Structure formats: structure tokens, C-alpha cells
Amino acid sequence: MADRHVDIAGQIAGIDPGLRPDDLAPDEAAHLLLSLAQVLGQANLDYHTADAPALSDADYDRLKRLNAAIEAQFPDLKRSDSPSDQVGAAVADGFGKITHAVRMLSLANAFDDDDVQDFDDQIRKFLGLGADAPLNYTAEPKIDGLSLSLRYEDGRLKQAATRGDGETGENVTQNALTIADVPQTLTDAPAVLEVRGEVYMAHADFAALNERQNESGGKTFANPRNAAAGSLRQLDASITAARPLKFFAYAWGEVSSAIAETQSGAIARLADWGFSTNPLTQVCDGPAELIAHYKQIEQQRAGLGYDIDGVVYKVDDLALQRRLGFRSTTPRWAIAHKFPAELAWTRLRDIDIQVGRTGAISPVARLDPVTVGGVVVSNATLHNEDYIAGIGGDGTPIREGRDLRIGDWVQVYRAGDVIPKIKDVDLSKRPDGAVPYVFPDVCPECGSAAIREEGDAVRRCTGGLICPAQAVEKLKHFVGRAAFDIEGLGAKQVEAFYHDADLSVKQPADIFTLAARDEANLTKLKNRDGWGETSVSNLFYAIDERRKIALNRVLFSLGIRHVGESGAAVLARHYGSWAQFADAMDAAQIGEGAAWDDLNSIDGVGAVMATSVITTMQQPAERASIDALIAELDVQDVAAPATDGSPVAGKTVVFTGTLEKMTRAEAKARAESLGAKVSGSVSAKTDILVAGPGAGSKAKKAADLGIETIDEDGWLTLIGDA
Ligand code: IVH
């Protein structure tokens, strides 16, 4: 331990924080970037393992700024483990966790007028409303901050939590208490009331804060949103108190009694209780009015004094909101209409090739750094080889067919938090001698053939588990925040452990055997550079803690193509346990049979995801790796959604014939929200057939099988909706 402190102190002493990057020769710059990556990486690790940090906050910030300045001067030398890419999630470790009583969701996006029209069409279709039936919406600015949930019990602020992963957030109660816009008490409020909204920082306050930080040598922020997030997520609430945060209320979570019948009514009540609500909120009678209001807000945007990145539309009638319900991570009754992205021109310096965890070969643009919407951008995604060649996803030309070449002058844009993209190229500035880019047909990491299959826009490395890049990316995904999220074991550590001959973490299971293997090794982890007794024992403890883990996290962590967080969640909810999931995948055949039908009946699972899951689970090498992992774990079953007292939880229901009081989509969504499985065909596994007028062969089959058959009213009575 002591050695490590001396070592760090020695390294810092070797770095003159006052040096000017433009005085450096490239080899000096490269050497310094290496030292900075080591020192700052170690500092991050110290932070995680809660050892006494060897680096003060001020030194940390200074070195991080120096690192960024050198990278700006020598973008080619930026390292893959650059400290600039490791943003301060570390701070979060000190907060307690809060499980949200009602999940905090995100919003689907609309990018143009057609998307807004589709939103209205789909809602009408779901509810079975004709084109002329009245349907009101609210429209309000989408605040570019971070969401916060405030829980009031008996009129007193009891708890404040960030969104986190939507299920669990960080307890920031002490910090929220310092925000002037957050009332500490409410009069005449329901016994339980969770108010949700956005914490943000106004432009003027942001500029003043950065100026103060500059003067005191503290950390400056790239934009108001980062400043708001950094200020709210301070372990020392007195720092939050000194930061000028604001809050707009726009939604709610758990409430013990209804607060209104409409969205607009609810917002008015929040304002009565003393919350700031956005003055640009308006009720509109349909897409045309929504779009007109959007345009008005867009015109006022620059003068608002705070950042907004779109306009949010919500169905006004709360009874309709309830009927519409939710997809896996977004409500059906709301959408965010985003403003067009900001643009900037810069030079395309180089094209790098990265290999992802599913073997996808992704070209990345290395750019001369340029500021886009307040953030310095030096990389952009180039998607795939067609994209570079000027061909879009549907085979038609993009950029009027203009290809991208190294040295080109390109237009970059950022929309929200997404990775920057390239919109256009200026051919008048193309350097003489620039040649079309030749896309590699072998994997640059393992030398295996990189093949593009029919219908796939992406070329993929065929090396599978033998490709080190795929294996490392899989491991990084595995330890990611929404996956195993092991404290002290981030992307950097798994990459190092992968390449280390003794530690040899080649697949996820190896993480869980690490402690035992380290015990047997001659050179122990604790004796290595950057590690010590405490940090290693903390790491092994954190790994052990994670053996017990929920099924949905496990499914997500496997990194199966097409299975994201929400896909993993619906699979987990459907199958309930690892054993049932694995059995079903063993039994499944692609494209046919009961197991295939059952998998495809899940809302949120389509043929592409289903095929990918089955293929992975049935591929012998992949499966061996997965089974080795599962053997190390205690996978926790996932219960069906809260369906206490639901008379249909766990039952398989089939709807047939005409439904008169709701659409098929609504019936299915409602049944699933009550924990039922909805299937398209009658079999011996069917529990209930709901038959409307015109029911044909399914009713007959159900009768033959002796399955309970009821009509629509019978169904509504059964589920208590009559
Ligand atoms: S409503 C169930 N309204 O945008 C839907 N969200 O992209 C709850 N946001 O996580 C969200 N302004 O942090 C809503 N007026 C507004 C908003 C807003 C900003 C944020 C919020 C949400 C994110 C989704």
C-alpha cells in the first residue's frame, strides 16, 4: 500500500502541471499521456476502493485538464484508456440506493412532423378512436437536465432520488433539500406523493459557476446539464447548496390518491403546491396544434435562459393514459419531439476500425476537435462500410452519394447524448490525391475473415470467442453498469486482466474464479502495480457480492446480439427463472414449434431477437461459456410484474373474434400488465379463451380441449374492469 502511494507521488512529481502542450514533442506527449493514464487510472481505482486517495481532488482535476489539453494538441496520440473517456461515475458509489416505487421511464422520440402524426395515429388505433374523436394533448418543453423523484409523506419531503437505471436511483435527499425550487412541505397533499421533474442549471448561473471554478482552480463543466448533474450528485451536500440548481415539476410517481383527471390539471395542482412548472405548457387538440406550439417554443428557445432539447407531448386525459399504459421502457401516451441536432464542420483525420462484442466491425471517424453544442467532439461513428461509401441503410444514396475520404472536410452533429455522427462532406475542400476508403475484409484484431452476410449492413469478424477484441468487449459489456456492475472492476480492469497471463480473465466465469486462482498464483494481484491488500480484498468481496444476481441482469450481461436491457427484462419476466429460460431455449427450433411461438408471443420480442437468443444458447462454445458462468452464480428468479391479487397472473389467455370495448392491442397490453401471457393460438396450455362475435376455429378447438371460454364482458368482469 505504502509503496503505491510513493509511486503515485513520484509520478506526479514527474509531471509538471504547468507545462504547455504545444511545447511538447510527440514522443514526450505520448510518454506523458501514458503516465497520466496510469496516475489518473489509479486515482479512480482508489476512489472506488475507498482507500485513502493518494491524489487530492485539486491535483486530480489539474492532471485531468492537462491530459485533455495534450490530447487536443495531439489527437492522434489519444489512448484507448484515456482518462478523458472515464467520466465521474465514481462519485456515485457513496450514495445509498433507492428503489423507485414506480419505475422512472424514458420517452420515445419523434424527429419530424410525420412522427408526430404517427404518434397520434397509433394512440387512436390502440384506443379504437376514430380520426375525428376529440383527443387532447399537453405540450411542454423538454428540459435538458436530469430527472429527480421527490417523495412526500404526509406533506413532508422524505426522500429524493435520481433516475439511475429507472428501477433504482441514488439517494440525494440531502442535496435536494438545498434546491430553492423544491418545497420541503406541502399542504393538502395526498399522504404519499412522489413528484417528478427535472433538475437543471440556468445559462447565467452556469457561466458564473464556471468562472468561479476557473478562479479557484476547480473543475469546469462542458455544459449546463453536466454542471447540474455534477452539482446534484455531490457527496457533500454543502457543495450542492452552493450551486444554483433549479427544478421544474412535470410528472409524478406513486400517489396514494388521485391528484387530477388530466395532465394539465395535475400540473396546475403541482403549481398550487408551490412547485415551479413550465410556463410554456399548453393544451393542444391534435398534431397540427402540437406542431404549431413546437415551432413557437423553438423560436423562443435561445431566449429562455436554460437548455431545452425538444417538446414533450402527453395525452391529457389521465384515464386514457392509464389505458394506454407502457411499453417496456417508455409510455405509449407520451413522446419527445426533439429539436434538430447542432452542426459543425471539421477535418476527418483518420478512420479507425473497432471490433465490437458481437464481432461488428465499426469504423470510427477521428476528427480535428470541434465544439458542437457546447461539447468538444473528436470522434464520430461512421456506422458501416456503406455509410462511408455514401449508401444508406435502405440501399439508396445518402449525401447524394458522396463518399467520405481521409482528409475530407465533414459536417458533424450531435443529437442529445448520442455519439456524434457525420452529416455531410464538402467536396470543394477535398485534398488532392484523396482516395476512396478501402474497408478491411479481415478482422484487424484477430485476422479472421470479416464477412458481410446477406441483408446485414455490418461486416462481422468470424473469429467468435477466439477474437481477443470480441472477448474483451464482451467482458466490458459484462461488467457494465446495467449488467454485473462490479465495484472496482470496470472496462479498464477487465481489459488488463484479460491480457495478463496469470490472471487470465478470458470469459465472464473467470471473474468468479479469480480469487481462487490468484491464491494459487505466485505473483499475487495485491503485489502488482496499482493494487494493494485493501483494494484486492475489496475487489474480491465485490465480486462475491455479485454472485447473487437477478435473472434480467444476467440475460443482459451475456451480450447476446439484439438483446438490450429492455429485451432482457421482458425475457426474464416471461420465463421467471434461469432453468425455465434455458430449458425453453434448448427445446426451441427457429421458426417453428411451441417454444418458438411462446418466445415470439412476448411483447417486445420479434423474430430477429428470438433467432439470436436461440442461436447463441445452442452454439456449443458460447453455451459452454454461459454454463460455466451460471455455475458460479445464484441467479435470482424474476417475479411477473406486480400483480398482487390479479386473477389472471400466470395464466395463458387467447383472444379471438371481435372485441367491442377495446382493441386487440389494448386487450393484450392490459392482460400482460396483470401478469397473464397472451398467446395467438389455442393449445393444451391455454387457460382462458376470450371469444367475441365471429370466433371460429379457435373457439371450437378450445371447446374440444375443455378450455374455459368467456366473452368480452366476462373477461372485463374477471379482471375487475367492468
Ligand atoms: S415526462 C413517463 N416531461 O426526458 C415519462 N420528461 O427522454 C416521464 N424530461 O427521463 C417523463 N423534460 O428526464 C417528461 N417535460 C418533460 C421533460 C422530461 C425533460 C426528461 C426526463 C426523462 C427524459 C426522457
Please tell me which residue in 78, 97, 125, 142 is annotated as part of the active site. 142
Average pLDDT over every residue of 89-116: 82
Which pLDDT band holds residue 641 (cuts at 50, 70, 90)?
Answer: low
pLDDT of residue 12: 64
Q: Give the Cα separation of 231 and 295 in Å (integer).
A: 32
The 10s digit of each residue's pLDDT in 417-443 is 568 999 999 999 999 999 999 999 999
Asked if residue 667 has its Cβ within 6 Å of ligand 1, the reply is no
Q: Are 22 and 505 in contact (CB under 8 A)?
A: no
pLDDT of the residue at 70 = 85
Give the pLDDT score at 89.
Answer: 32
Q: Residue 22 has what pLDDT?
A: 78
What integer pLDDT is reported at residue 91 of this predicted model? 34
* pLDDT, tens only, 38-50: 888 777 666 544 4
Of residues 523 and 55, the one with the higher pLDDT is: 523
Note the pLDDT tens digit of each residue in 568-619: 999 998 899 999 999 999 999 999 999 999 999 887 899 999 999 999 999 9
pLDDT of residue 650: 82
Note the pLDDT of residue 373.
72
Residue 627 has pLDDT above 90, yes or no: yes
Average pLDDT, integer, range 368-376: 82
* Confidence check: pLDDT of 389 > 80: yes
160 Cα: distance to centroid of ligand 1 (angstroms): 17
pLDDT at 3: 39
Q: What does each C-alpha distance from 85 to 3, 81, 362, 498, 508 come to in angstroms?
A: 27, 7, 18, 20, 24
DSSP secondary structure string for all residues of 412-449: EEE-TTSPPEEEEEEGGGPPTT--PPPPPSB-TTT--B
> Stretch 517-542: mean pLDDT, rounded?
93
Task: Provide the greatest CA pair distance for the chain.
Answer: 87
The reply to whether ligand 1 has any atom less than 6 angstroms from the CB of 147 is: yes
pLDDT > 90 fraction of the chain, expressed in percent and rounded: 68
Closest alpha carbon to 110 in 282, 291, 286, 299: 291
What's residue 47's pLDDT? Answer: 53
Report pLDDT for 88: 37
Banded model confidence at residue 223, pLDDT cuts 50, 70, 90: confident
pLDDT score, position 169: 92
- The three cell numbers locating residue 421: 455522427
Write out the three cell numbers for 629.
458462468
Distance separating alpha carbons of residues 306 and 276, to the nearest angstrom: 14
- DSSP class of 85: G
Top mutation candidate among 103, 162, 198, 337 for ligand 1, by most atoms within 8 Å of CB: 198
pLDDT at residue 8 greater than cutoff 80: no
CA distance 441 to 454: 15
Only one residue has cell 464538402, namely 426
Does residue 198 have its Cβ closer than 6 Å to ligand 1? yes
| Burial profile 387-403: b = 16 or more Cβ within 10 angstroms, e = fewer | bbbbbeeeeeebbeebb
Distance 135 CA to ligand 1 centre (A): 21
Answer yes or no: is pLDDT of 722 > 50: yes
Residue 301 CA, ligand 1 centroid: distance in Å? 17
Q: Please give the grid coordinates belonging to residue 571.
A: 425475457
Cα–Cα distances in angstroms (integers) from residue 598 to residues 552, 589, 590, 605, 607, in the given order? 18, 11, 12, 10, 11
Lowest mean pLDDT among 58-67, 116-125, 296-305, 345-354: 58-67
476 φ, ψ to 5°?
-65, -40
Say whether 548 is catalytic. no
pLDDT in tens, 86-100: 643 333 457 889 999
Distance, CA of 636 to CA of 90 (rounded, Å): 27
What single letter denotes the amino acid at residue 183?
P
Which grid cell is 495?
A: 481489459
pLDDT for residue 4 is more than 70: no
Q: What is the mean pLDDT of the chain?
A: 90
Spatial strand order in the sheet of 137-143:
109-110, 334-338, 308-315, 137-143, 282-284
The pTM of this model reads: 0.62
User: Side chain identity at 107, as an amino acid letter?
Assistant: L
pLDDT higher than 80, residue 370: yes
- Give the model confidence (pLDDT) of 200-222 as tens digits: 999 999 999 999 988 888 888 88
8 Å CB contact between 217 and 192: no
Q: Which one of 103, 142, 307 would you pick to mutate in the ligand 1 pocket, going by the greatest count of ligand atoms within 8 A of its CB?
A: 142
Average pLDDT over residues 245-254: 97
Distance from the alpha carbon of residue 307 to the mean position of ligand 1, in angstroms: 14
The pLDDT value recorded for residue 5 is 39
Is the predicted pLDDT of residue 354 greater than 60, yes or no? yes
Residue whose Cα lies nearest atom 6 of ligand 1: it is: 142
Q: Is residue 275 predicted with pLDDT exceeding 80?
A: yes
In sequence order, what are the beta bridge partners of 138? 283, 314
Per-residue pLDDT band for 18 (boundaries 50, 70, 90) equals: low
Partners of residue 168 on adjacent β-strands: 99
Q: Are 106 and 94 in contact (CB under 8 A)?
A: no
Element spanning 355, H or E: strand 342-355
Rounded to the nearest angstrom, the distance between the alpha carbon of 143 and the centre of ligand 1 is: 7
- Asked if the model's pLDDT at residue 333 lies above 80, the reply is yes
